[in-house]
Chain A
């Protein structure tokens, strides 16, 4: 067996020490540490929700402390970056300032922004006044923006208004929720059935 050429002892120890020094330096230099082996998964995606609620019920009060609106939804996801809350099938009961019956709003999706001062509802939006005296009036559209503090909602989309057996279609609508007044903005087509 070929014998290892005799290396003088001092060379051997110098080699080991040198290797140790190089190793030490490289650990410091490459910052190798146990943590760098299991790289933790940190997503820095901006619209990463910070919390979400399911089957939640939010009661929003106004300055006088009386309920402004009650919002329930299957799922509400709060976005940290723009402080908005995305809603799945939101259902909103909007209370009129003075007496008068509340309004019901429903949609497939919704987004609450400006700390609750703006609620955008999209996809099969229904706005219904719960007026027992008069047969209630139903409004359906594909998008509606509600401004609770101003008791006002608007849409630029086409809207259908059913009330008893009258049907009115229009494009663009403004709803003054307190006094129950609707402004239909264009191409108004109405039909009143005669009993």
Chain B
């Protein structure tokens, strides 16, 4: 699975901080792990004491997250901020979040995607940063399945 592949990072410059186990990469940052591809202008990578990656926060205009798990449906998403949580195997898209999978699209201020189950399992307005007024609702667009097309597993 993607999770067991090495994580490769490309960037223009970086700041590695010994004490806090964080590395901040700046300048068209591209992070890949197997089929997963995360991009952004500024990416903060947190590692645990042993040096294993625990969390990646990518900020961009927009930051993008793509993944095509084998046998699974490819995911293409973007947002101002994208958080990848290694242990939870989850990706959270924040601000102008957009995720597209099998023609279904999710749009809103906050989208949480479970990578292992390949499912968007949470989406809501940003309670603290909401644009006020009418509550922002997540907009989900599910493509109607054509009669001839078999149900995807």
Contacts and interface: CB of A to CB of B under 8 A. Distances in A.
A180 B16 CA distance: 8
Contacts of A187: 12
Given A163-B51, A185-B13, A194 B18 contact: no
A6 interface: no
A190 B18 contact: no
A117 B61 CA distance: 44
Interface stretch (B2-10, B105-113, B135-143): B2-10
Contact of A193 (B6, B11, B18): B6
Contacts of A184: 13-16
B10 A194 contact: no
Interface in B46-74: 47, 49-53
Contacts of B4: 194
Contacts of B3: 194
Nearest to A181: B17
A189 B9 contact: yes
Contacts of B33: 194
A167 to B, nearest CB: 10
Interface string B103-127: 0000000000000000000000000
Interface string A160-195: 010111101010000000011111111111111111
Interface residues of B, number: 28
A131 B6 CA distance: 25
Nearest to B34: A194
A134 interface: yes
Contact of A188 (B10, B17, B18): B10
B19 interface: yes
12 contacts: A135-B51, A163-B51, A168-B16, A179-B17, A183-B15, A184-B13, A188-B10, A189-B10, A190-B10, A191-B8, A192-B52, A194-B4
Interface of A: 129, 131, 133-135, 137, 161, 163-166, 168, 170, 179-195
Given A166-B47, A192-B7, A194-B4, 18 more contacts: A129-B18, A131-B18, A133-B49, A135-B51, A180-B19, A181-B16, A181-B17, A182-B15, A182-B18, A183-B14, A184-B14, A184-B15, A188-B25, A190-B9, A190-B10, A191-B7, A192-B45, A194-B5
Counting from the closest, the 8 A-B pairs by CB-CB distance are A180-B18, A164-B51, A190-B9, A192-B7, A184-B14, A182-B16, A188-B14, A188-B11
